[in-house]
Amino acid sequence: MSSDTLPKDFLWGYATASAQVEGSPEADGRGLSIWDTFSLQGDRTEDGKSNSFGTDSYRRWKEDIDLMKSYGANCHRFSISWSRIIPSGGRSDPINPAGISFYRTFIQSLLEAGIQPVPTLFHWDLPQALQDRYKGFLNKEIVADFTHYARIVFDELGDLVKVWLTINEPNVYAALGHCIGAHAPGRSSDRTKSAEGDSLVEPYIVGHNLLMAHAAAVKVYREEFSQQGGRIGLVVNANWAEPYDQTAENVAAAEKYFTICSLWLADPVHKGDYPELLKEIVGDKLPEFAPEEKALLKGSSDFFGLNHYTTYYAKVRTTPAGPTDFRSQFFHGVDETSVGPDGKEIGPKAGLPWVRPVPWGFKKVLRFLWERYGRDIYVTENGVICPGEKDMKKEEAVEDDFRIDYYRGYINAMAELINEGVPIKSYLAWAFADNFEWQEGYTAKFGVTFVDPETGDRTPKRSAGFLKEFMEGKMGA
């Protein structure tokens, strides 16, 4: 292989999530999720809109598969709506056969189109009934519910699936939903956002229970469904933290930032416990694993599922966090910035302030994860919004050269590492289509497909054609 080619069996394609694309929240017996109810509150999203439409993919999924096939993709990551399978979510609650039938038909259709399915069991859309019942992942009872749900899905769909993802970004779900309050269920110590919550305690409880739910589901898969011959793993968001400068305090700040953000919930599934540095930082707010829990967690991911978008400079915070600045308090005296000490920006400004193209940071995080864990890496999300894209009409939005440059830089960086021997198995771009982007509503557009916000009509952007040709060249098609 030359330095910029990819293996013939490399998986590439696009990612989506049920709460962001499906819409039809109560169709065919589905129960409501926390994102259905949270986004309907009106003031929780930038545009005041809910996820009840998404991209209307529950009704237009055949069109989406046809588009993905035309884009040349050989893999599609999507998530299963827990409340479509078990409307009330619990281990003793009724199962919804229509939900199982929908996903089985969807997966079969992907396979018929030559597209490998990569389902995620939980991509943040917890059944609202479980949040009401015992505050969702704040209660360890939910581990048994998730295990039951996973067993049903493996039993009903597992014969069609070779790669499973258990939980998407538990670090983000825990922090944004239970510290900052920007995501469902919206809990925070900030009483302007939530009537209840403890920002500096709850994220660690939620993260702990998410990990145990993941490990329990993997145990079921390995012990009861090994004949299906698949692989299974956790997805963690890991944006790289580069020291602001090479002073000892800022080198330490970068390590601290990356440990809090990324290693927090990555180390336990690969090493069996939280990082020692995290224990020092968080202290007694961090739950402890019992010996049998450590044994269950260690090695519970067959690979490292990586979502990555950008890189920051990290430095020591020079001013104390305010009493209601729980985000800053969560990072324990570390700030991130996109401007270096020389005044130069780490990468060009994109359509959201938190994501900038920094391909060298992608290369650093991939190398770091391989050296730390020695596991195959599946890149399960990577993408960007073009500058000004939030306000663009279709004719302008489809000319997305900024996104093309982003993909070219990131894929080339990844390909270089693969050719150095780092076992990276997939590249799944976020996202297949402009969709409901959580707290941004429909204003943040990551897709390679423009979606009309009124009709749902799809129009390929230039990036879709670029990736088809680019990846064909990389894989020698």
Give the whole-angstrom CA distance, residue 149 versus residue 94.
Answer: 11
The count of residues in the chain is 477
Task: Give residue 477's pLDDT.
Answer: 57
The catalytically annotated residue of 22, 169, 389, 440 is 169
Give the alpha-carbon dihedral of 135, 138, 142, 143, to 10 degrees: 170
Could you tell me the two tokens for 167? Answer: 């939980």
Give the list of residues 6+ apart from residue 394 with CB closer than 8 angstroms, or none. 450, 452, 459
Helix (H, G, I), strand (E, B) or coil at 135: coil
467 close to 72: Cβ distance less than 8 angstroms: yes
Spans of the chain below 70 pLDDT = 1-3, 477
The whole-angstrom separation of Cα 183 and Cα 194 is 11
Judge: domain 11-474, CATH 3.20.20.80.
yes
Phi, psi of 432 (to 5 degrees): -60, -40
Active site annotation includes 381: yes
Question: In the annotation, is 169 catalytic?
Answer: yes
For residue range 407-432, list pLDDT tens digits in order: 999 999 999 999 999 999 999 999 99
Q: How many CA atoms lie less than 13 Å away from 7 in the CB half-sphere?
A: 15
Give the residue extent of every domain in the chain.
11-474
Question: What is the distance between the alpha carbons of residues 148 and 135, in angstroms, rounded to a whole number?
Answer: 18
Separation of alpha carbons 27 and 215, rounded Å: 31
DSSP state letter for 95? P
Catalytic residue among 242, 381, 389, 440: 381
Q: Do residues 113 and 65 touch, judged by C-beta distance below 8 A? A: yes
- For residue 336, the one-letter residue type is E
Q: What is the pLDDT of residue 3?
A: 62
